[in-house]
Amino acid sequence: MANETQLLIVMVTYLVLLISWGLYQGRKVKTDSDYAIAGRNLPGWAAALSERATGESSWALLGLPGFAYSSGLIGVWTAIGCVVGIITAWWAIAWRLQKEAETYDVKTFSEYIAKKHGESEKSIRLVASLTIVFFFFFYVGAQFLGGGKTLFTMFHLNPQVGMLITAAIIIPYTIYGGFRSVVYTDVVQAIVMITALIVGPVVGVIVLSTRPDVFAHSIPQALNLAGESYSSLSGAASGFAFGVTVIGGLSWFFGYLGGQPQLSMRFMAIKDMKNAKVARNTGIIWTLIAYVGALSIGWIGIGLFGPKGLSDPEYVMPKVMLELFPPAIAAMLITGAIAAMISTADSLLILSSTELAENLLKKDDKKNALTRSRIVTAVLALIALLAAYFSPSNLIYTIVGYVWAGIGGTFSIVILLSLFWKPYHGKAVLATIIIGMLFTIIWISSGMEKVITARIMTFVVAGITAVAATYLIKPNKISA
């Protein structure tokens, strides 16, 4: 009870300060461009930390440590897939998207694709924006659900009350400050996250080596004592099963290649090429440290509690922190993890609302553009909250399940070919988006996901569609 009380006090204090910081940043928003993309004036370090916090919040602090705890060394394959994808994105894609966003003077992800392929601009704006808004609307609802469940697990609050608290945390500063407020609250989250992922493993290794009452006195010993399925990179699998395991882990690579709009928007918002280099270095260094730390926390959990010591592997990080640190310090580190997961909703919400306001509801009334964007954000947040309340949670999570493969795999192809292949044209873009999303839905719904993950198959099918459509369909002529 004492630990829970301290965690609650620290969390409330942290969140109040975070909301205040977000509202303060919102004071600097004067135009719809500031609201949608921070005026494309972000410092490199801020863009990088925001992109990393958005991309890795619950995954780096709860998901990956939990996977490492429950599966041992086999978690390395997933980490490699993610890390190589992230490094590739920062090294080859980020600075190009920054330059393209500046060249085409865009405020949203779909607007860039549409202006890049101007001969089909109106159709691309409509199809791309509708696709993103639909799927990310449910993604926001899933974050509200996740926030409610997390607060229930930590504090035994009614999950519906937890959903309201989650919404109350992120909605005010998101409505007021838009993308700018979201980015700078993400920066705080990223700093807390990386602190936990550095300090936790260092102290954990020391504690394992000095305490007599633990399951193992080092990470290698913990993995060996847990059994072959933990100590082997194959997870004790062989042949086809091993291949599926490795491919499934490495397949996360494809989702990072520009196809996640909430991440690519950070690339597009960077101020200039000089800051793009700072962002690249910051993003890569943060990623390398974070993934090593996340895996280590999971393996340290095996050393502390044994391989079967926790009923829910995804809470190994909070359990490890409470075991290693005094309650107040542990509460701060755990709070960062919980708050980062909850606040992922702000990035998804502002992405959806700006896509809707700028591409589907856009009017020539520039004087009221900022007010319109805020109203759209408020309405979308309310509808997403109601959907999370009244829709079956399995429906929401099913739709979210299509996002990484469908949105990530499909739009990665669109972005890569838009950046690197001149023949690619607007009609081919439309075909890529439509076929990619339809294929993902059919593939996952048919159960084929269990054979080969849609993260790979969607990328392959969308790629084949894009190339075939480029050659088989004649592009529209741009009118003079």
Which pLDDT value is given to residue 364? 65
Q: Of 328 and 377, which is predicted with more confidence? A: 377
183-209 as b/e, with b when 16 or more CB fall inside 10 Å? bbbbbbbbebbbebbebbbebbbebbe
pLDDT in tens, 456-466: 999 999 999 99
Phi/psi for 14 (5° steps) reads -60, -45
Amino acid letter for position 348: L
The two structure tokens encoding residue 432? 């890529």
Amino acid letter for position 82: C
Q: Of the ranges 55-64, 203-212, 222-231, which one carries the lowest mean pLDDT score?
A: 55-64
Ordered DSSP codes for 154-216? HH---HHHHHHHHHHHHHHHHHHHHHHHHHHHHHHHHHHHHHHHHHHHHHHHHHHHH-TTSS-
Give the rounded percent of residues in the chain with a pLDDT score beyond 90.
61
Which pLDDT value is given to residue 480? 41
pTM of the full predicted structure? 0.92
pLDDT in tens, 39-49: 999 999 999 99
Any residues with CB less than 8 A from the CB of 209 and at least 6 apart, and which? 217, 218
**What does each C-alpha distance from 364 to 33, 123, 200, 368, 369 come to in angstroms?**
14, 19, 52, 9, 8
pLDDT in tens, 405-436: 889 999 999 999 999 999 999 999 999 999 99
Pick the most confident of 129-138, 144-153, 154-163, 278-287: 278-287
What burial class does residue 475 get, using C-beta atoms within 10 Å of its C-beta: 0-12 exposed, 13-18 middle, 19+ buried?
A: middle
| CA–CA distance, 380 with 313 (Å, rounded to integer) | 33
Any residues with CB less than 8 A from the CB of 8 and at least 6 apart, and which? 155
Tell which residue, 347, 345, 371, 372, has the closest CA to residue 357.
372
The two structure tokens encoding residue 360? 């589907």
| CA–CA distance, 23 with 337 (Å, rounded to integer) | 21
pLDDT in tens, 205-221: 999 999 999 999 999 99
Domains of the chain, earliest start first: 2-472 (1.20.1730.10)
**Considering the chain, what is the average pLDDT of its residues?**
89
The answer, yes or no, to whether residue 449 has pLDDT greater than 80, is yes
Which pLDDT value is given to residue 237? 64
Q: Which residues pair with 270 in a beta bridge?
A: 42
The two structure tokens encoding residue 1? 């009870």
Number of Cβ within 10 Å of residue 360's Cβ equals 14
Coil, strand or helix at 40: helix
Split at pLDDT 50, 70, 90, the class of 1 is low
Q: Which residues pair with 42 in a beta bridge?
A: 270
| CA–CA distance, 278 with 288 (Å, rounded to integer) | 16
- CB contact at 8 A, 37 and 179: yes
6-16 as b/e, with b when 16 or more CB fall inside 10 Å? bbeebbeebbe
Average pLDDT over every residue of 148-156: 76
pLDDT in tens, 320-366: 998 999 888 888 888 777 777 666 789 999 999 999 988 888 766 66
* Beta strand extents in 134-224 (DSSP E only): none
Average pLDDT over every residue of 102-108: 95
Average pLDDT over every residue of 295-312: 94
- CB contact at 8 A, 432 and 465: yes
What burial class does residue 210 get, using C-beta atoms within 10 Å of its C-beta: 0-12 exposed, 13-18 middle, 19+ buried?
A: exposed
| CA–CA distance, 116 with 71 (Å, rounded to integer) | 44
Amino acid letter for position 425: H
Which pLDDT value is given to residue 470? 97
Q: Of 251 and 176, which is predicted with more confidence? A: 176
